[in-house]
Amino acid sequence: MINNRVELITIGDEILIGQIVDTNSAWMATELNQCGLKVVQITSVSDSRNVILTALRDAAQRADIVLITGGLGPTKDDITKACLLEFFGGEMVFNEDQYTQVEKLFSSFGREVTPINRKQAEIPSTCKVLINERGTAPGMWFEKENTVYVSMPGVPYEMKWIMAELVIPELKKRSGLPSIVHRTFLTQGIGESLLASWIESWEDALPEHVQLAYLPSPGLVRLRLSTTGRDEAALHEELNNQAKGLYTIIGKHIYGEGEQSLPEIIQDYFIDKKLSLSVAESCTGGNIAHMITGIAGSSAYFKGGVVCYSEELKINLLGVPPDVIAMHGVVSEATAIAMADGARKTMNTDYALSVTGIAGPDGGTEEIPVGTVWIGFASAEGCMAKMFRLSTNRERNITTASLSALNLLRRKVILGEALT
Amino acid sequence: MINNRVELITIGDEILIGQIVDTNSAWMATELNQCGLKVVQITSVSDSRNVILTALRDAAQRADIVLITGGLGPTKDDITKACLLEFFGGEMVFNEDQYTQVEKLFSSFGREVTPINRKQAEIPSTCKVLINERGTAPGMWFEKENTVYVSMPGVPYEMKWIMAELVIPELKKRSGLPSIVHRTFLTQGIGESLLASWIESWEDALPEHVQLAYLPSPGLVRLRLSTTGRDEAALHEELNNQAKGLYTIIGKHIYGEGEQSLPEIIQDYFIDKKLSLSVAESCTGGNIAHMITGIAGSSAYFKGGVVCYSEELKINLLGVPPDVIAMHGVVSEATAIAMADGARKTMNTDYALSVTGIAGPDGGTEEIPVGTVWIGFASAEGCMAKMFRLSTNRERNITTASLSALNLLRRKVILGEALT
């Protein structure tokens, strides 16, 4: 049996100079948590011998399992393997199985194995090799003084496969530890402080062993309840009871739980009810369509969209009457409604969303400042539009407007809220 | 004068349980690097007293400057401020200036300051307060035994403002250190190993004090040359000379340098030459439009796009002849060309791009497997399309297909490559 404290070490100057965002650690932490393993620290160090060796040594003080990513690419800036050899001892040996895998992979791309890739099949004799079916660098499983160390390539697509298929199953088998149970409630459209004031008395009444965390991101606030113990059923029961209280206070603002996203929730509902959707996007510039089509299977309900950055396309492709734009302006309730209505009719769908606004940072006026966004909705029963005042930050505004539009769709279609 | 080793500490269970990706550190590292400050380690720890205190203490062994983000939100899961008080001494004092700022911020949203937010203006007496004009939690500048510690909120929008306006200028003023000069070359469409073999002899001839790193991400490989020294002009000169060699070998594959993106490069060229663009997207589902419109000012050349997830929209909105689809299939050279041509004519632009393919994970056939993508291009001179075989991963395929389409546009329009 091994204990449950995990440290993640990422190796690579590219993280320390900021050219790469470390998305691996978040993914790994999520997966580890789900099987009751707890990440106690994430450490990013550079591609240099001393700091790698120090990081390997120090991690064993804090953790029972050390998962190392990065520093195993085919190119010459990588010294991780030499450090592993120095730290764990042994000698470099050529691994036939990994090499066969590399050859298979390259032949599927119609390419020849280069000498550089061949070198990747050389592995310290002190490790158990984790054959990488997704790439050329294998994973390596070492054990030293009761600590497990696993080294994996940093390419997310490869690391995820090795983790899911080889590392997590083995760690699960060996541990026998208390479970952590989380439940995460997803809200859209209410700020963190306002949400906190609404649920203050519920939060204050939570028992000691239940923790609440606020996880804000642009346009969303997630609320996470956590508790730890041996009796998993009792932990779920406890969180279920607490969740009831939360739903009583802010139920209609909770669009989902856990890893669900608004596009997924909408997709499940629309496919189940055999409904169709189209979108007309001006200031969100295709982001709503992108979010929707990021989900596999979305073609079963999403027919498509028009990104009408120019007035001309609003008129020609969506049939927005030119005098609506002339009278009310491009960023107006009337235009948003005409766009949604036009999208629904042109693309022949049950529902349509539209967005018109000023994403910024420029283009605002005194009357219509940057961050003003009208979101329109069209159905067989009629149309409506709602105004939002967002920030002056283009990226945040695009994200928040897209989420607000999808949440409006959810509330109108799934919750069946009135049009007005 | 202070030294130049920086450690970044992020505080928050949300990072360790993987609910948040740490994008702050990458941004901070990039900014710090540009003024010659070197991030030696990034450490993420949980919201608990002991580990925060240990992290603060240990960081001083490795770094001269410790930048701390997170753990300062308005809600109750935050204990960072108490730890800072314990570590640096002093007492909590109410800061009028920060509170005035909070009131100003809230009144601009038309909201009242809550007692929770009022508490955020309480600050250890041992720090210099960095007034946060973007949010409610101020930055705090501490000094202890020749180490500078700065604590900032973790919300990227707020942290970035405090860093750019208050922290970096002060750090710059105090340091007087050798510069690091980087030059990053951006390539699209060639794998890391192939690239490495092409430039091997150039790379082997690089002098000791010039480092090369490969930074791959889906669809892209960035090559970064770095060197450090006191004479900044000489460093630039050195990298310029090395760059010439690189351009001789792979010049046409380098689409840009540094932080430039393909949409930015295209936008600059199109606006300069007064050209216009439209897109017709099937399997990329709006991502190309989203990438283009993510850049401020894109409306000056990008008229819009059609996301035609259904065959019906390809026919009705883009004028793709039904018999082209019937004869050649939706994922074919002929359909890609008809989509690009249709987009260009319908949306009345100088150029148009189209994408049709199978993003996956399902929907492939033996003949047209998942990852098959046709990218079409239309201009006044004519049309063409090119096939790409990508992976089985939907997200990667959407990203890579979008980048491949934009790079095709660059090569045809900016480099003026022939249509065939």
Residue B175 has pLDDT above 80, yes or no: no
Query: Is the CB of B42 less than 8 angstroms away from the CB of A302?
Result: no
| Whole-number Cα distances in Å, A16 to A294, B6, B29 | 30, 10, 6
pLDDT, residue B407, reads 97
Chain centroid to CA B353: how far? 24
CA A302, CA A409: separation in Å to the nearest integer?
13
CA A382, CA A405: separation in Å to the nearest integer?
17
- Residue that has been written with the tokens 């050859």 in this structure: A103
List pLDDT tens digits, range A177-196.
Answer: 677 788 999 999 998 889 99
Distance from the B3 Cα atom to the nearest Cα atom in chain A, whole angstroms: 17
Distance from the A340 Cα atom to the nearest Cα atom in chain B, whole angstroms: 15
Distance from the A190 Cα atom to the nearest Cα atom in chain B, whole angstroms: 12
Query: Is the CB of B19 less than 8 angstroms away from the CB of A215?
Result: yes
- B149 phi/psi in degrees, rounded to 5: -120, 130
- Residue A336 host element (H or E): helix A333-346
Dihedral sign, CA of B330, B335, B338, B339?
Answer: positive
Distance from the B194 Cα atom to the nearest Cα atom in chain A, whole angstroms: 8
- Residue A88 host element (H or E): helix A80-88
Chain centroid to CA A54: how far? 32
CA B144, CA B377: separation in Å to the nearest integer?
60
Residue type, B218: P
Chain centroid to CA B19: how far? 19
| B1 band by pLDDT with thresholds 50, 70 and 90 | very low
CA B12, CA B44: separation in Å to the nearest integer?
8
User: Which chain B residues are within 8 Å of A160, Cβ to Cβ?
Assistant: none
Residue type, B414: I
A19 vs B222, B286, B394: nearest CB? B222
Tens-binned pLDDT, residue by residue, of chain A (420 aa): 457 899 999 998 889 988 888 999 999 998 898 777 889 999 999 988 999 999 999 999 999 999 999 988 776 556 899 999 999 999 999 999 989 988 888 887 677 788 878 888 889 999 999 999 888 889 999 999 999 999 999 989 899 999 999 999 899 888 776 777 889 999 999 988 899 999 999 999 999 989 898 888 889 999 999 898 888 899 999 999 999 999 999 999 999 998 899 999 999 999 999 999 999 999 999 999 999 999 999 999 999 999 999 999 999 999 999 999 999 999 999 999 999 999 999 999 999 999 999 999 988 998 999 999 999 999 999 999 999 999 888 999 999 999 999 999 999 999 999 998
B244-258: average pLDDT:
95
A194 C-beta neighbours (distance < 10 Å), count: 12
Residue B86 has pLDDT above 50, yes or no: yes
Burial of A58 (C-beta count, 10 Å sphere; 0-12/13-18/19+): middle
| B4 band by pLDDT with thresholds 50, 70 and 90 | confident
Residue of B nearest to A194 (CA): B114
Mutate to test the interface with B, among A4, A7, A19 (most CBs of B within 10 A): A19
- A269 phi/psi in degrees, rounded to 5: -65, -50
| Residue B251 DSSP code | G
Query: Is the CB of A292 less than 8 angstroms away from the CB of B285?
Result: yes
Query: Is the CB of B18 less than 8 angstroms away from the CB of A26?
Result: yes
B229-251: average pLDDT:
93
Distance from the B11 Cα atom to the nearest Cα atom in chain A, whole angstroms: 10
Residue of B nearest to A391 (CA): B109
How much of chain B, in percent, has pLDDT values that exceed 70? 98
Superfamily of domain A262-414: CinA-like (3.90.950.20)
Query: Is the CB of B286 less than 8 angstroms away from the CB of A305?
Result: yes
Residue of B nearest to A74 (CA): B193
A213 vs B22, B77, B304: nearest CB? B77
CA A320, CA A336: separation in Å to the nearest integer?
9
- Residue that has been written with the tokens 């065959």 in this structure: B311
User: Which chain A residues are within 8 Å of B33, Cβ to Cβ?
Assistant: 17-18
B75 vs A76, A155, A192: nearest CB? A192
User: Which chain B residues are within 8 Å of A25, Cβ to Cβ?
Assistant: 15, 18, 21-22, 44
A351 C-beta neighbours (distance < 10 Å), count: 22
The three-state DSSP-derived secondary structure of A24-87 is HHHHHHHHHHHCCCEEEEEEEECCCHHHHHHHHHHHHHHCCEEEEECCCCCCCCCCHHHHHHHH
User: Which chain B residues are within 8 Å of A308, Cβ to Cβ?
Assistant: 304
List pLDDT tens digits, range A201-240.
Answer: 999 999 998 989 888 888 999 999 989 888 889 999 999 9
In chain B, the largest separation of any two C-alpha atoms, in whole Å, equals 79
B397-401: average pLDDT:
96
> And the tokens for B227?
């060197």
Second CATH level (architecture) for the domain A5-174 = 3-Layer(aba) Sandwich (3.40)
Distance from the A12 Cα atom to the nearest Cα atom in chain B, whole angstroms: 10
pLDDT, residue B75, reads 67
Expressed in percent and rounded to 5, the helix, strand and coil fractions of chain B are: 40, 25, 30
Q: Which of B247, B104, B230 is nearest to B183 (CA)?
A: B247
Domain coordinates of chain A in residue numbers?
5-174, 179-257, 262-414
List pLDDT tens digits, range A83-132.
Answer: 999 999 999 999 999 899 888 888 876 777 888 788 888 899 999 999 99
Q: Averaging pLDDT over each range in A227-241, B117-131, B175-189, B315-329, which range is the top one?
A: B315-329
> And the tokens for A56?
């390997």
| Residues ≥6 apart with Cβ < 8 Å to A38 | A4, A5, A6, A32, A180, B16
Query: Is the CB of B310 less than 8 angstroms away from the CB of A304?
Result: yes
A193 vs B28, B114, B203: nearest CB? B114
Query: Is the CB of B285 less than 8 angstroms away from the CB of A296?
Result: no
| Whole-number Cα distances in Å, B208 to A11, A50, A346, B201 | 22, 19, 63, 15
- Residue that has been written with the tokens 């505004």 in this structure: A397
In this structure, are residues A16 and B39 in contact, taking their beta carbons and an 8 Å threshold? yes
Q: Is the pTM of this model over 0.80?
A: no
∠ CA B167-B168-B170, rounded to 5°: 70
Dihedral sign, CA of A91, A95, A98, A103?
Answer: positive
Q: Which of A226, A194, A212, A166 is nearest to A36 (CA)?
A: A226
Query: Is the CB of B15 less than 8 angstroms away from the CB of A22?
Result: no
Q: What is the mean pLDDT of chain B?
A: 92
Task: For residue B361, say if its preceding peptide bond is cis, omega within 30 degrees of 0.
Answer: yes
Q: Which of A326, A330, A284, A324 is nearest to A307 (CA)?
A: A284
Distance from the A122 Cα atom to the nearest Cα atom in chain B, whole angstroms: 17
In this structure, are residues B199 and B250 in contact, taking their beta carbons and an 8 Å threshold? yes
A190: left (phi over 0), alpha (psi -120 to 50) or beta: beta
Altogether, the residues listed in chain B come to a count of 420
In this structure, are residues A255 and A213 in contact, taking their beta carbons and an 8 Å threshold? no
Query: Is the CB of A289 less than 8 angstroms away from the CB of B289?
Result: yes
Strands B5-11 and B38-45 come out as parallel
Task: For residue A361, say if its preceding peptide bond is cis, omega within 30 degrees of 0.
Answer: yes
Query: Is the CB of A307 less than 8 angstroms away from the CB of B293?
Result: yes
Residue of B nearest to A113 (CA): B193
A209 C-beta neighbours (distance < 10 Å), count: 11
> And the tokens for A40?
């106690």
Q: How many CB pairs under 8 A join A and B?
A: 307
> And the tokens for A99?
């090499």
ipTM: 0.77
List pLDDT tens digits, range B93-136.
Answer: 999 998 998 888 888 767 778 887 888 888 999 999 999 988 88
CA B51, CA A400: separation in Å to the nearest integer?
34
CA B373, CA B392: separation in Å to the nearest integer?
12
pLDDT, residue B78, reads 66
SS3 B419: coil
Residue of B nearest to A279 (CA): B307
| Whole-number Cα distances in Å, B359 to A159, B54, B393 | 21, 47, 7
pLDDT, residue A76, reads 55
CA A326, CA A330: separation in Å to the nearest integer?
8
A290 vs B203, B279, B285: nearest CB? B285
Query: Is the CB of A42 less than 8 angstroms away from the CB of B40?
Result: no
CA A377, CA A382: separation in Å to the nearest integer?
8
Second CATH level (architecture) for the domain B179-257 = 2-Layer Sandwich (3.30)
B261-284: average pLDDT:
98
In this structure, are residues A140 and A150 in contact, taking their beta carbons and an 8 Å threshold? yes
Residue of B nearest to A78 (CA): B213
In this structure, are residues A404 and A389 in contact, taking their beta carbons and an 8 Å threshold? no
Residue of B nearest to A399 (CA): B294
SS3 B8: strand
CA B170, CA B154: separation in Å to the nearest integer?
20
Which residues in B131-289 belong to E strands, given as ranges?
139-144, 147-152, 179-188, 211-217, 220-229, 254-257, 277-281
> And the tokens for B245?
């060699």
Which residues pair with residue A41 across a beta bridge? Answer: A7, B45
- B24 phi/psi in degrees, rounded to 5: -55, -45
